Every structure is written in C-alpha cells, then in structure tokens.
Chain A
C-alpha cells in the first residue's frame, strides 16, 4: 500500500531539483532554481527548516551528503559551473570549499562509499568529470577526465565498495587500500561509461551502448553480497535499462529493458536494500519496480495489495 504521509512547503522561491536525506534520515537537503540549498531537520515525520545556504549564482541541480563519519558535509553543484562543499559547525553552515574547474553547468555530484575515503565525483555539461579527493585539512585534490561524454555528462554514481574477495571473508580495516574505486556516468552521447581507478588514474573500463537518446540518469545498485553488479539507467528515449554483470562469469554488463515509457524518463533511484527501483518519468508519474525471486521485474501494484473484503465474518 502506498500513501502520502505528509507534504512539506519547502519555502523555496522556485522549483526543487533534488532532495536528499542524510544517512540516518534526520536531515533533509533540498536545492532549487532559486539558487539556494535548504537544510531541514526531520523529526517524527515532520520537517523544520534549519538553514538556507546561499552562494550559488544559478539554479542548483543536485546535493549530496557525505558519510557522517566525516562530520556533516554537503556537496552541491550548479548551473554556475561550480561545486560547493558545505560544512556544519556548531549549528552554522559554511562553505568550506569551492571547485571551479568546469567550463559549463555541473549537473551531478556523488560522494564515494565511505570505505574509500572522502571523495566526490562531479559530472558537467562541458563533457568532463572531476574527482575531488580530500587530502586532509580541507585540501582537495582534483583529477579531471576531460571529454568523458561529448556534449555533456548528466549523471554520475559510485559503485558500492566491495573489496576483492570480501564475499568470502569480511574485509578487515587494514584492507582499505584494496577496495576497487569505480563509478558510472551517463551523458548526452547516449552512452554509459564505467570508470575505474588504476595506479592513481581514472580509466574507462567499459562503454555501455543501448540507449538511442541522451542518458538522463544512472544509478548503481547497493551491493547485497552477490558477485553481481547492477546499474539502472534511464534516457530521453523513454527506456529504463537494468545492466547486470556477473563477476564470476565475466565482466561484461548485459542490458535488459525494464520498460519503454512514452515519455522521457528523468530519474532512477534504488531503495537502500536495492530491491525496489523508483522510476520518475514524464506526466507526473512515478513507478516502483521490484525484482522478484525469479529475476523478473514487476511494477508494484498498490491497489492489488489492498485488503480483501470478503472475510470470514459471516
């Protein structure tokens, strides 16, 4: 059963482009065309506005929370070509870092899994992707992949941190260096690319071709312990594709079209356990898809899950 619990007036002056809950669901960050980012406190299902972060000079497209073990950090990216990193100290939010190396709108930001250290990936309309690594003391080192997607990069998403061999043995804290650093990006060249860090450089590991129009969003599914990677992508061509790669048999990602919509599909989002995919398409529609035991995808039916009325109380 799906129901709307509550509706919040975000007090933004223009439309919202992204809303992200922090790790524990206690704080909410929203960003908007009004050039601001707002932070809300979430308590007992209600939201209370804590701060409005100003500084961007254009619509803010995305926000991302860092893992709480790095303290309260938030990244935002904007049409103004900039990426900001904000930090909360004693209840006050302040911009602690500004990254200005992109020549066009920055469309997407995503923090790496916390096991990999404090690291942020940004995708821009200039076609480039930047990876910012924290070097301590608020020093950030950027490595840029130029021309990752011709015309522009729309979305980036990290692969979950899975150390090689961790499926057999739980990784110990000492193994940290062994985690593979990987992320996926989607762009206006209709392509999806997988990037992997080798010897300190980012290399294109795979190029996934199947969409026939701009790729709007990509999302790497959380790891549930199977030697299988799963990526969801959606595109202007109306299709949502689930890419899977079975690491035991090979490393090729195979596409499976989840559904072809009549309209552009803007956004795909995985639930925390990776079993439900929320697909946001045109026409005010959101559909939820669940993978069944047999690997088949079905739309969750909400009316069908309502209670049967002819009970036993004759």
Chain B
C-alpha cells in the first residue's frame, strides 16, 4: 500500500472519484467539497497521468512536485458548506449545501469550465442539507429538518417534498434503486422509503440499538441489494438485511468513534471501506453472506479488518474507493490517495 498526502488548505466534507467507464480504467479525476470555512467551494482535481492532457503549465508543475500529488484543475464557490455530494453522471455532480440548497454542477476539464447547471433553492431549513444521493436522473436530499426531497435532473421543481417526515435529524441518504430510498437518523434508525407510495411514512424502520446511538452513514451491497451497511456514532458498523426482521444481522465494533462514511467496493463487493472521527480508515473483508454474518454473533468471525492509513489523529470525513485507489479527506485539511487499497 502506498499513500499520497496533500494539504489543500480547506477542510473537505466530501470527496468523490469521477466514475470510470470501464473497470480497467484507473480513476484520475475527483471532486471535493469544503465545509466550515469563510468561503467554501467545490474543486475538481487531477491525479498523475491525467494532468498531462490539461495544459502545459500543469506539466511543469508535475515535473517539480511528485507526480502523484493531486492538482487542482477547477474551482467554484458555493453559498455555504458542502454537506452532501454525489456524481450523477460522468461530468455532473449533485451538491447539497448548509444553506438548504441543492445544486447540480457540470464541468469540463478540457474546456476549463465548472458551472452550476440546475438549482433547487432552500429545500431544507435549519442547518440545511446533510446528504444527497443520486441515481441518474433521480436525486434525493435529506436534512437536519427531517425532510426528504426528491428531484429529477431536468426538472426545475422538486418532484416530491416530504417535509419533516423524520422527527430526528436525518444524517445520510442512499438510493438502492430509483424508487427505493434509505435514510439514517440521529435516533439510530435506518428507514426505507418507497418513492411510489403515496404515503410519507417509511415502508420500514430498522433499529440499530436500544440506546439511541445515532447512525451516520449508509451504503448497500452492489450485488446483494438487500444487504445494507450503516455506520454508527459509536464506531460500530451495523449490517441489516432489508428482507428480514428490523434488527441488525450483525453489529461490529470497527472504530472507536463516529463512522462518518462507509462504502462497498463497486466491483469487488467483498470489501467494505469505513472511515471515522477517530482518524482511522479500515477495510472489512467478507463475503457478506447473511448466514455466516449472523453466526458471527455467536463467536467465529469471518470478517477480516485491515488498517489502511496510519492513525493521523484528526477525523477522516469522507472516502471513496475506485479501482485499487482509495480517496479520503481529513479535518487536517488533507486529502489522501491510497494505492493498492484492494
């Protein structure tokens, strides 16, 4: 495992690789969104070989600095902290802001352009958006106000506003299919909503613990859609089977503090990546077979956990695995790119 560390003079709340067109392609571009600063922005970065195509100047830069260092290619100011960010397609990114606004940004590195394409202003009150999810052309945003909004890329008006459906703050959102949305909240619940249902009530509520420890993040298994992994404020990774009962299949103490994000590897789904407030990034390796997972509770653990980053002491807020590269951002205003993470 090799890592590259870049200090970027801003705290990044989210980092995302630009989706690759084939599994053979190495990801070379990513976006980041900053938070908690006087002026916040989203930036597009190039890594390694990519920058050669951009312009001459970048070439010189790469000669001088180690070639693995990411180079900022484009930047655009946002009105508020970036709280949620997700790629909709190759070149467009949905961004949720602390002002409650969700925007769609489109960029083109060759044309040196990064601009807002669509905006849904002030969808959320209080401290605004906390997360967004996308499944082209559908978008979902959630907020501390307990509201869920559904949008479509080309529609100026949101398709559906489910105002205050959760009485605790919603912490994250994920789209399992274009109609199936799952959310996590501060009360430790994982909820499933059906976009086709006329009712604003969740189709299911699953509980991670009896002690109301909040959940921070959620992702679904790429091939077995019913397996949902959530990250808790107590450092636990809690696995649910959406087909079965409302209690967890398995609960694993992976970190010591809040699991801010977790992601299955899209092409090698036996790997689950997690990052935490405690400053660690870890990888869980297992087949995610629900049978063996539940037997794990009785002692024999089929799960292997590996450390991907030397402990850095500051919170790791976001991560994204793609190919064999893992991208992370920390509160030390740093971005890490870990090679051979798989």
Contacts and interface: CB of A to CB of B under 8 A. Distances in A.
Interface string A22-65: 00000000000000000000001100000000000000000000
Interface string B19-57: 000000000000000000011000000000000000000
B68 to A, nearest CB: 30
3 contacts: A44-B38, A44-B39, A45-B38
Contacts of A44: 38-39
Nearest to B38: A44
Contacts of B38: 44-45
Nearest to A45: B38
| Interface residues of B, dominant DSSP | loop
A44 B40 CA distance: 11
A45 B38 CA distance: 8
Nearest to B39: A44
Nearest to B37: A44
Contacts of A45: 38
Interface of A: 44-45
Contacts of B39: 44
Nearest to B40: A44
A234 to B, nearest CB: 34
Size class of the B contact interface (CB-based, 8 Å): under 10
Nearest to A43: B38
Nearest to A44: B38
A286 B38 CA distance: 28
A45 B37 CA distance: 12
A225 B39 CA distance: 35
Please name the 3 residue pairs, one residue from A and one from B, whose CB atoms are nearest each other, closest first: A44-B38, A45-B38, A44-B39
A44 B39 CA distance: 7
A275 B43 CA distance: 39
A156 B116 CA distance: 53
B82 to A, nearest CB: 16
B78 to A, nearest CB: 13
B151 to A, nearest CB: 27
A44 B77 CA distance: 13
A116 B39 CA distance: 37
A254 to B, nearest CB: 43
A118 to B, nearest CB: 25
A7 B38 CA distance: 18
A42 to B, nearest CB: 12
A138 B39 CA distance: 40
A291 to B, nearest CB: 30
A265 B328 CA distance: 54
A151 B198 CA distance: 73
A44 B37 CA distance: 9
A157 B89 CA distance: 60
A25 to B, nearest CB: 12
A102 to B, nearest CB: 40
A271 to B, nearest CB: 21
B267 to A, nearest CB: 42
A45 B39 CA distance: 11
A5 to B, nearest CB: 11
Interface in B224-260: none
A298 B92 CA distance: 57
A44 B38 CA distance: 5
A220 to B, nearest CB: 32
A274 B39 CA distance: 29
A116 B162 CA distance: 42
B283 to A, nearest CB: 39
B238 to A, nearest CB: 31
A195 B39 CA distance: 46
A112 B196 CA distance: 55
A44 B79 CA distance: 11
A72 to B, nearest CB: 15
A35 B92 CA distance: 54
Interface string B153-175: 00000000000000000000000
B253 to A, nearest CB: 28
